[in-house]
Structure 1
Amino acid sequence: MSDKVKTGVPQPQINPEYMVKISNDAHVRMLIISTVFVASFQHVHGNTSHDIWLSLERAYVPHTSSREYTLKTQLLKIEMKGDETSSAYLTRAQEYSDALANIGEPMKDKDIVMLVILGLREELNSIKSTIFHRHPLVMFSKLHSLLVDHEYLVKKTPTDVTPVQAFVAYSGSSCNMAAPHTVIPIPSSDQI
């Protein structure tokens, strides 16, 4: 009669596994939240780990035709902005590519490389043909180092050379005025 109140209705009993489940869920919530990037906190909603997971999934994996169209259009029309670094540009392209892969519509690496190269600023035109004519085509993961190196060389100006270096370079090139294929005899020790 201890389980029943005088009305004859049994009283609810606490499941002993309930506290273990609550504790485990709190750990999982903590793991999820601790791995979420700060900018993504706006998408974290819910009281359970399952709710938080679903809210992040809804935010980052909405597979709709319009989302697919938008991402593909953004990648097809990607262009490097005037003041944008190559790192920022490639990161933007990578985000579009990753988002497409996340919704089950990945693009081929070579297609991404071609679109990214076509969208480079005019000052980087000289590297476009170099990359396109490589066989096999450069992988997307290798583009960063190629573009950063090229940007460095393009931005390096003649003012980076000190006057002393310029004089030495000029003097060194003008010391030997002989024809390119002329052999200049080296005097022997008894001629000196």
Structure 2
Amino acid sequence: MSTSASNINSSKIATTITCKLNRSNFLLWKAQVVPILKGVQLFGYLDGSIESPTDKVTTWAGAEAREIVNPEYNSWMVQDQAIIGGLLSFMTEEVLAQLTRCTDTSSQLWTALHTMFSTQHRGNSIQIRTQLSTTRKRDLSAAEYYQKMTTLADTMANIGHPMTDEDVIGYILAGLGPGHGDLFTAITVLSDQHKVTLPEFYSYLIAHETQATATNSMTEFTSSANSVTHQGSNQPRRTSNNPNNNQRSNYRGAGSNRGRGRG
């Protein structure tokens, strides 16, 4: 691979990753890195499927053998170092400090990252399951709550304890709180028919939230309208305090008396 191609691909890596790797976001960071590198056919450098050529090759000049630098190795090395540079530029200092001796090749760096984060999370499965059991939706939106719970489930997978979609859905339903009986019933009925996947459950969760929001808005509107109507019906009737009205009434009364007197 040419140097110009490696520069282009390294630039693509640097401009597409949106967050720096820290101690708590490895899965999110990795979720961006892997498809980017696969998309430009460079992930093989990380998983070792694109192996390093030998650094030297033997050429013959007549009966004399000579070792020269392998041009294919140079191209491979340039590309590999470009990948390393792109990845390191999107790591925080606390992560970089633990990788300074693991940057000979991108494959070495990738392996070190997985070792570091799997070791960091190993043995935390009980703690994570406790978080899944105690996390509540409360004021979170449905999307925020779903992301929070599935991130915990992804962490379980990363430390070697993957969870089934059914287990994760069970934890999510348990943390919704009161007022979500319709959703629970719908998912229970569906699960009797087929295995409900997380993406399918997510669509039901969002639809349930949308319907609940619309229902609450209509209830508030109806309550406000009834309140205004009730206030209007309880207001006392207005009486006129205009003194001219009293004068006209007295005048008409006096005229009638005078007419009867003449008779």
Q: Tell me which residue corresponds to 2:202.
A: 144
**In 1, Cα distance between the equivalents of 2:146 and 2:127?**
18
SS at match of 1:110: helix
- Counterpart of 1:77 (choices 128, 131, 134) is 134
Q: Tell me which residue corresponds to 2:125.
A: 68
Q: What amino acid is the match of 2:212?
A: V
TM-score (norm 1): 0.59
Q: What amino acid is the match of 2:81?
A: A
TM-score (norm 2): 0.45
Does residue 120 in structure 1 map to residue 176 in structure 2? yes
- Counterpart of 1:24 (choices 67, 79, 84) is 79
Check whether the contact 2:165–2:196 (CA below 8 A) recurs between aligned residues: no
Deviations 1:7-50 (A, max 9, x none): xxxxxxxx83575564132133145458xxx6xx2234434434
Cα-Cα RMSD:
3.2
Q: Which runs of 5+ in 1 are unaligned?
A: 1-14, 164-192
Q: In structure 2, do the counterparts of structure 1 residues 70 and 132 end up closer, same or farther at CA, with 3 Å as the change threshold?
A: same
**How many pairs are equivalent?**
142
Q: Tell me which residue corresponds to 1:8.
A: none
Shift of 1:141: 1.5
Deviations 1:89-124 (A, max 9, x none): 111221122222222211122111111111113233
Q: Tell me which residue corresponds to 1:9.
A: none
Check whether the contact 1:118–1:128 (CA below 8 A) recurs between aligned residues: no
Higher strand share: 2
Q: Which runs of 5+ in 2 are unaligned?
A: 1-67, 226-263
Shift of 1:151: 0.9
Q: Calculate percent identity across the aligned residue pairs.
A: 20
The correspondence of residues 1-192 of structure 1 with structure 2, limited to 5 A, is 16-17=69-70, 19-20=74-75, 22-30=77-85, 32=87, 41-42=91-92, 43-44=95-96, 45-46=99-100, 47-48=103-104, 49-50=106-107, 52-62=109-119, 65-80=122-137, 82-134=138-190, 135=192, 136-156=194-214, 157-158=217-218, 159=221
Q: What amino acid is the match of 1:78?
A: T
Larger Rg: 2
Pick which of 126-135 and 19-28 moved more: 19-28
